Amino acid sequence: MLVAFSVSPSSSGEGGSVHEAVAAAIRVVRESGLPNHTDSMFTTIEGEWDEVMSVVKQACDAVGRYGPRVSLVLKADIRPGYSGELTGKVERLEAALADHDE
């Protein structure tokens, strides 16, 4: 299962920045030991349903310490029996692009 999510406090600190709260969430993800990737908009994690959702909840709890309200956006790819898809999906896409360019 892949879950891409974005979590932030509903109110920001000085200058509209939420980077400290987001950093707390990313710290939770990285300490989980699950395969993960963070970009400018989302963090994607891979694992079984219960372990992934537990990490998402812990990340929300971490962000909740920065304000009274938390916003969560989540997208999931639920595909039982598959693993390594965090990189596998991208590798297949790059191969398809390379095949097309030849």
pLDDT tens for 67-93 read 889 999 999 999 999 999 999 989 999
Instruction: Identify which of 66, 67, 64, 55 has the alpha carbon closest to the alpha carbon of residue 26.
Output: 55
Q: Is the pTM of this model over 0.95?
A: no
The pLDDT of residue 49 is above 80: yes
User: Over 70: is that where the pLDDT of 32 sits?
Assistant: yes
Residue 61, pLDDT > 80, answer yes
Average pLDDT over residues 36-61: 97
Instruction: Please indicate whether residue 17 or residue 99 has the higher confidence score (pLDDT).
Output: 99
Average pLDDT for the chain: 93
Residue with the larger pLDDT of the pair 12 and 17: 17
Per-residue model confidence (pLDDT) at position 10: 86
Return d(Cα 94, Cα 32) in angstroms, integer.
28
Q: Give the integer Cα–Cα distance in Å for 91 and 51.
A: 25
Tokens at 19, concatenated:
């980077």
